[in-house]
Chains A and B, each alone.
Chain A
Amino acid sequence: MKLHLRERFSTHEGMHALIKKKGSINPTMVLGLILALVLTYLIAIPVVMLITESVRVHSIDVSYFQQEEGAFTLRYFQRALASRVSSVLFLSPLMNTLVIATCITLCTTIVGYILAWIITRTDIRLKRIFATLAVVPFMLPSWSYAAAWITLFKNRKQAGAPGILEVMGFTIPDYLAYGPLPIIICLTMHYFPLAFLMFGNAFQRIDSQMEESAQILGANKLQTAIHILLPVMKPAIMSTILLTFARTVGTFGTPYTLGRPVRFNTLSTSLYFTYQSGEPGVMAVIALAMLIIGALLVALDVYVLREYKRYVTMGGKGQMSRPFTLGPMQIPMNLLVGCFLFVVIVLPLSILALSTFMVTPGWFVKDNFTLQFWFAEETRVREAVPGLLRDPTLLSVAWTSIKVAGIGALICGTLGTLVGYAVVRLQQYRLSKYLRHLSFLPYLVPGIGFGAAYLVLFATGRGPIPALYGTLLLMILAMSVMYLPLTTRSSISSMAQMGAEPEEAAMILGAGWFTRMFKIVIPIQKRSLFSGILLAFIQGMKELSLVIMLAVPGLEVLTTLSIRYTDNALMQMSNGVILIIAFVTFLLTAVSQRLTKTSLAQGIGG
């Protein structure tokens, strides 16, 4: 009894002692083990499945291969890597992907770095507004820019309503209308906010006295920027590069919209096409390649983190952040940032909106303006489809979207909180490390590759788990796992911040594990949990790469519906759906900012 009391009263060891106490079951450990099992099945197994699927004869190829279904084969690899079609199927898409991802990563890093520096480190005006606006492009569906681009630059090569500039009498060359150049520009516009956020936060943490020390010792502005600021930012730069690269490798909408007309394929579009044309073996090979890229990125991330651990930015009392004085450059700089944000936000959204009110976008005569794409019972333009707001399928699709993203986000938030709790509380065990790494894995894994893995894993029933292909449940499941890193990360940091003391205080007063969980931990974590769920919900609403693999006729979400309109050359309808998605995400963001009083760009604008 004496020992027991001592255990309970030494605050620091109390929790450990409870875990180690012989003969009794520790609920946290049980939770950790259950989570480990669930996550292994949902994250690790799909990856393993892709490997087996790529070397196993599929039923569709039984007669062609003259082998039994399920037998070992390397013919899918051969087809992808060393055959007449390997260049079309795999090798050139791989090259294209790597080139595009490299260019986009470079561009977003530079744009994000400069913008973050201007907004966090100088005395530019309107900081807060700029910081809030700079995040907006990331709230739009990833291919919004591609859609706006094609609305503006489309030429005769593609069917459907002509592009605005073409109508106005310009001839647009293919290289400007489609292919790598517009893809790079559009995705840079979409992904730079990621870099902006990461750099903004990093800049915020850097003590400006570090730069001043260099200055005192005789370094000029340029020397300070190169020798001090840039190296200190290196960890943030590296993680931004890795994340952007992973996202661009896995993105589908933009290369699909802008690449297809000129047969410019990336791994993601090639994966989609092999899936559409019924080549599950080759699809598995391509998905595997994407996951290998993801795995390499994860490995690099781990290496980089370890490398930089030695000199993580040290916090300390007396840190200062004195803004860089722009002086006479202040007004030009304000104009420059304002123009940039206008080009990346107002311009594309206006183009999209304008196009939905015109029969032929860009032809500015009175008769050409129309409301039919939104309100007509039957549009008269190409196909007899109802206007968006009159379309009963749109309503049901929107409902599906909300269900998938909403339930997915709820599961994701709950799972993330539990994982965060287990990771922090079981810190001294290997299990904690395993959980942390596993739940972070989807962070750097290309989305469409993950979708393919889910397709493969749940195509048939396995053991007690039934086939889930074509069900809402599968989409929800994939969604909740894809965004798990978001909620886990925030949960781990807020759990660590909370510390063990509030729970230990409850323990001292005799509260059991479940009481502590529901009366102490969850109420304290409420805000971080809520904002995590909302963030996942917003991401889920605009997610395409993941769900494009899992959507089937009859089970569509808004994003896949928009792509289907694009397929049918119904540009205005497709743009309309994008605007609806954008409207919903903006609304949700506004609501969440109001409710949680936090925003993505929190603190960056000062």
Chain B
Amino acid sequence: MIDIKLEHIVKKYTSDVIAVDDLSLNFEPGSFVCLLGPSGCGKTTTLRMISGLERANDGVITIGGEIFDSPKQNIFVRPEHRKLGLVFQSYALWPHMTVQENVDFGLKLKKISKEQRSRIVDESLDLLRMGAYRKRYPAELSGGQQQRVALARMLAVQPGILLLDEPLSNLDAALRLEMRSELKSLHERLGSTIVFVTHDQLEAMSLATHVAVMKEGKLEQYADPMTIYLKPATEFVATFVGSPPMNMVGFSDLEGQRWKAPFKKAVAAFIRMDADDQRICKVGFRAEAVTLKRSDDPHPLKQNQTCIKGHIKAVLPTGPEQIVSIVVDDNQFYVVTPPSLCFENGQSVDMVVDLTMIHVFDQKGLRI
């Protein structure tokens, strides 16, 4: 059980390309942390700096109480001495070695006796149910199997920290689900600290004990998954996490505080909630905060409710529910309803928004 501490980490590739900008994070021992963000947000770079494949330009990386990278103090521990595991998106199995040899390689380097090695190889392969394929070459395995071997290869050396760089993004949907549950139970059994990089917010939500959402090299929010979902710290987190994305209503013109006509009443309600806060710039509400009513269906508004009128653009059934997209002027909103409700395209509807479930952000996109 090892903890990782990142303090004010900066990574520049060239003088004007800043991959990671003043990032500070604390990973508790035994936690399962997801680095979540769109591509190019610096999450893989962060992982590579933890692994030592990349050197930070500034800041301090401490792992298990020991400083591993600190440019100011001129300390850098090479990746081969960090004793951690890293699984790549491409798996990067060695094609000239069999499954068994792939797993054995790291043990050989540790100069472990032959009997012990073969026992550990067997154990690791059995743990990931790949024992039957030990004589195969990677090219003779399916994507999911290669993935397991890549994991087994890193688990065999019993690292205190396991780093995973988008390990599931090359798998098909069914396999991905299976590997997710496998990873989660693996984490519970091994108890090691896992850092997991993904751009899939669903994956992050379902796996992690903590999620760090990143954007353009900066940390947006670091919290447990439910906090991320229920109390997004920024407008970016609010729209990036959750599917369908959070609906947003913004000022068209901040100076005069004029809201576009269809939102006028609704926003007035929103703002009243927050006592005329002048900082309010954007208001967001998730699909589940909305109850959809036909406009011709009389429905008295309750307290803490407001209404926005719009038209149905499309209905997208997903099985257990349906996502309804609604157009209000040129804004598009998503609402989730039970599949039993029937709507027609172009039909006018009222979105009834629960005011207790709205999120308010200021001009910089920060939560108020």
Point out residues on A near B: beta carbons under 8 Å: 207, 209-210, 212-220, 223, 227-228, 231-232, 234, 310-314, 316-320, 322
Q: Within 8 Å of chain A (Cβ to Cβ): is B225?
A: no
Cross-chain contact of A318 among B82, B89, B109 (Cβ < 8 A)? B89
CB <8 Å contact, A209 and B81: no
CB <8 Å contact, B96 and A209: no
Which A residues touch B251, using CB under 8 A? Answer: none
CB <8 Å contact, A317 and B170: yes
Task: For the complex, give the distance between the alpha carbons of A316 and B169 in Å.
Answer: 11
Task: For the complex, give the distance between the alpha carbons of A231 and B51 in Å.
Answer: 25
Task: For the complex, give the distance between the alpha carbons of A210 and B91 in Å.
Answer: 8
What mask results when residues 28 to 56 of chain B are scored 1 for a CB within 8 Å of chain A, else 0?
00000000000000000000000101000
CB <8 Å contact, A220 and B80: yes
Question: Across the two chains, which residue of chain B brings its CB closest to A325?
Answer: B55
Which B residues touch A310, using CB under 8 A? Answer: 137, 139-140
Q: Within 8 Å of chain A (Cβ to Cβ): is B205?
A: no
CB <8 Å contact, A316 and B139: no
CB <8 Å contact, A207 and B90: yes
Task: For the complex, give the distance between the alpha carbons of A311 and B92 in Å.
Answer: 13
Point out residues on B near A: beta carbons under 8 Å: 51, 53, 78-86, 88-97, 105-106, 109-110, 137-140, 150, 153-154, 157, 165-166, 169-170
Known: A316-B170, A318-B89. A311 touches B109 (CB 8 A): no
CB <8 Å contact, A317 and B89: yes
Cross-chain contact of A214 among B84, B105, B150 (Cβ < 8 A)? B105
> Among A217, A227, A232, A316, which residue has the most Cβ atoms of chain B within 10 A?
A217
Q: How far is the CB of A235 from chain B (nearest CB, A)?
A: 9
Question: Across the two chains, which residue of chain B brings its CB closest to A228?
Answer: B94
Q: How far is the CB of A120 from chain B (nearest CB, A)?
A: 18
CB <8 Å contact, A311 and B96: yes
Task: For the complex, give the distance between the alpha carbons of A527 and B119 in Å.
Answer: 56
Cross-chain contact of B96 among A214, A217, A234, A319 (Cβ < 8 A)? A234
CB <8 Å contact, A215 and B94: no
CB <8 Å contact, A311 and B139: yes
Which A residues touch B89, using CB under 8 A? Answer: 317-318
Which A residues touch B51, using CB under 8 A? Answer: 212, 216
CB <8 Å contact, A213 and B80: no
CB <8 Å contact, B95 and A209: no
Known: A215-B53, A216-B79, A219-B109. A209 touches B88 (CB 8 A): yes
Cross-chain contact of B105 among A217, A220, A322 (Cβ < 8 A)? A217
Task: For the complex, give the distance between the alpha carbons of A404 and B314 in Å.
Answer: 67
Which B residues touch A312, using CB under 8 A? Answer: 95, 139
Task: For the complex, give the distance between the alpha carbons of A265 and B289 in Å.
Answer: 90
Which A residues touch B79, using CB under 8 A? Answer: 212, 215-216
Which B residues touch A231, using CB under 8 A? Answer: 94, 96-97
Q: How far is the CB of A72 from chain B (nearest CB, A)?
A: 50
Task: For the complex, give the distance between the alpha carbons of A216 and B153 in Å.
Answer: 11
Q: How far is the CB of B156 from chain A (nearest CB, A)?
A: 9
Interface majority SS (helix, strand, loop, mixed), chain B: loop
Which B residues touch A210, using CB under 8 A? Answer: 92-94
Which B residues touch A207, using CB under 8 A? Answer: 88, 90, 92
Task: For the complex, give the distance between the alpha carbons of A383 and B164 in Å.
Answer: 77
Interface contact tally, CB-CB below 8 A: 97
CB <8 Å contact, B138 and A218: no
Which B residues touch A217, using CB under 8 A? Answer: 80, 105-106, 109, 153-154, 157
CB <8 Å contact, A212 and B80: no
CB <8 Å contact, B90 and A320: yes
9 new A-B contacts, CB < 8 A, other than A210-B93, A213-B92, are A209-B88, A210-B94, A213-B88, A216-B51, A219-B80, A220-B80, A231-B94, A310-B137, A314-B95
17 CB < 8 A contacts A-B: A209-B90, A210-B93, A212-B53, A214-B105, A216-B53, A216-B85, A216-B86, A217-B106, A217-B154, A218-B106, A219-B80, A223-B109, A232-B96, A310-B140, A312-B139, A314-B93, A317-B169
Task: For the complex, give the distance between the alpha carbons of A293 and B140 in Å.
Answer: 34
Task: For the complex, give the distance between the alpha carbons of A223 and B108 in Å.
Answer: 11
Which B residues touch A219, using CB under 8 A? Answer: 80, 105, 109
Which B residues touch A318, using CB under 8 A? Answer: 88-90, 165-166, 169-170
Q: How far is the CB of B357 from chain A (nearest CB, A)?
A: 38
Cross-chain contact of B110 among A218, A313, A322 (Cβ < 8 A)? A218
Which B residues touch A313, using CB under 8 A? Answer: 95
> Among A210, A213, A219, which residue has the most Cβ atoms of chain B within 10 A?
A213
Task: For the complex, give the distance between the alpha carbons of A575 and B342 in Å.
Answer: 88
Which A residues touch B80, using CB under 8 A? Answer: 215-220
Q: How far is the CB of A555 from chain B (nearest CB, A)?
A: 51
Known: A218-B80, A310-B139. A317 touches B95 (CB 8 A): no
Which A residues touch B109, using CB under 8 A? Answer: 217-219, 223
Question: Across the two chains, which residue of chain B brings its CB closest to A220?
Answer: B80
Question: Across the two chains, which residue of chain B brings its CB closest to A223?
Answer: B109
Task: For the complex, give the distance between the alpha carbons of A603 and B210 in Å.
Answer: 41
Question: Across the two chains, which residue of chain B brings its CB closest to A309?
Answer: B139
Task: For the complex, give the distance between the alpha carbons of A212 and B90 in Å.
Answer: 12
Task: For the complex, give the distance between the alpha carbons of A317 and B88 in Å.
Answer: 10
Known: A218-B80, A311-B96, A311-B139. A212 touches B88 (CB 8 A): yes
Question: Across the two chains, which residue of chain B brings its CB closest to A213?
Answer: B92
Which A residues touch B86, using CB under 8 A? Answer: 212-213, 216
